[in-house]
């Protein structure tokens, strides 16, 4: 809910549709959710490179990066995670309005928070990608050494250890990074986007 009153929406003279036409592809928010170490960053970085080669205008938003700036006043309580996801959802929506394909990679552990982002956009604009990976595999990978710290009790409220992760019920795409290579996961997403008309002619 807005705290401000007496504010009036001001329309632009260039529409989203006109921006999309100029770019030659649809806008979309590709929302990566999954455990720490599941591969959200790795897959989204390689997917962006692939989309760029195909002439798609992209931008990537990543939990670690956004928490250095826009969201540096938020921690990892359920309330702060909800606010993190709400703000990133609003930024993703602005980017969709600008005609971009945004790749948003956040643990986003709560189904309700992700569904609230979905509700912010047009139905076909939100593509939820569940980056699925067994917790044990994530823990073995431990690319930042955070699981080790969480197990040692040095980090409290770590997702998957002593904080919840709610799997998506009906994601548009599930990539299983403990069964398929990065290249295969990227191809699966590109194929979905092509088959569903996101990438233009």
Ligand X SMILES: Nc1ncnc2c1ncn2[C@@H]1O[C@H](COP(=O)(O)OP(=O)(O)O)[C@@H](O)[C@H]1O
Ligand Y SMILES: Nc1ncnc2c1ncn2[C@@H]1O[C@H](COP(=O)(O)OS(=O)(=O)O)[C@@H](OP(=O)(O)O)[C@H]1O
Residues involved in catalysis? 108
Q: Does 168 bind ligand X (CB under 6 A)?
A: no
Q: Does 171 bind ligand Y (CB under 6 A)?
A: no
Contact flag: residue 89 with ligand X (CB under 6 A): no
36 assigned binding-site residue: yes
* Least spacing, CB of residue 123 vs ligand Y, in Å: 23
Is 197 annotated for ligand binding?
Answer: no
Per rule CB under 6 A, is residue 108 in the interface with ligand Y? Answer: yes
Nearer to ligand Y, 157 or 200 (CB): 157
Residue 157 engages ligand Y in binding (rule: CB under 6 A): yes
Residue 93 is a binding residue for ligand Y (CB under 6 A): no
The binder of 141, among ligand X, ligand Y, none, by C-beta within 5 to 8 A per type, is ligand X
Nearer to ligand Y, 16 or 86 (CB): 86
Tokens 């921690």 -> residue? 75
The secondary structure of the chain as a DSSP string is --S--S------SS-HHHHHHHHTS--EEEEEE--TTSSHHHHHHHHHHHHHHTT--EEEEEHHHHTTTTTTT--SSHHHHHHHHHHHHHHHHHHHHTT-EEEEE-----HHHHHHHHHHS-GGGEEEEEEE--HHHHHHH-TTSHHHHHHTTSSSS-BTTTB-----SS-SEEEETTTS-HHHHHHHHHHHHHHTTTT--
Query: Under the criterion CB under 6 A, does residue 20 sit at the interface with ligand Y?
Result: no
Contact set with ligand X (CB under 6 A) = 34, 36-43, 105, 131, 141, 143, 177, 180-182, 185
Annotated binding site for ATP: 34-41
């Amino acid at each position: 809910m807005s705290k401000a009153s007496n504010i009036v929406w001001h329309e632009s003279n260039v529409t989203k549709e006109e921006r999309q036409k100029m770019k030659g592809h649809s806008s979309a928010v590709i929302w990566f959710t999954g455990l720490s170490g599941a591969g959200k960053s790795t897959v989204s970085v390689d997917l962006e490179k692939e989309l760029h080669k195909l002439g798609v205008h992209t931008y990537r938003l990543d939990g670690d990066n956004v928490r250095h700036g826009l969201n540096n006043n938020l921690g990892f309580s359920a309330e702060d995670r909800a606010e993190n996801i709400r703000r990133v959802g609003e930024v993703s929506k602005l980017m969709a309005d600008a005609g971009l394909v945004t790749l948003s990679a956040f643990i986003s552990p709560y189904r309700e928070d992700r569904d609230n982002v979905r509700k912010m956009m047009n139905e076909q604009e939100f593509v939820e990608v569940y980056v699925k990976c067994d917790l044990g595999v994530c823990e073995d990978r431990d690319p930042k050494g955070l699981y080790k710290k969480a197990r040692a009790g040095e980090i409290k409220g770590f997702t998957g250890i002593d904080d919840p992760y709610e799997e998506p019920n009906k994601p548009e795409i599930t990539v299983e990074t403990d069964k398929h290579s990065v290249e295969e996961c990227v191809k699966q997403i590109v194929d979905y986007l092509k088959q569903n008309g996101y990438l233009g002619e």
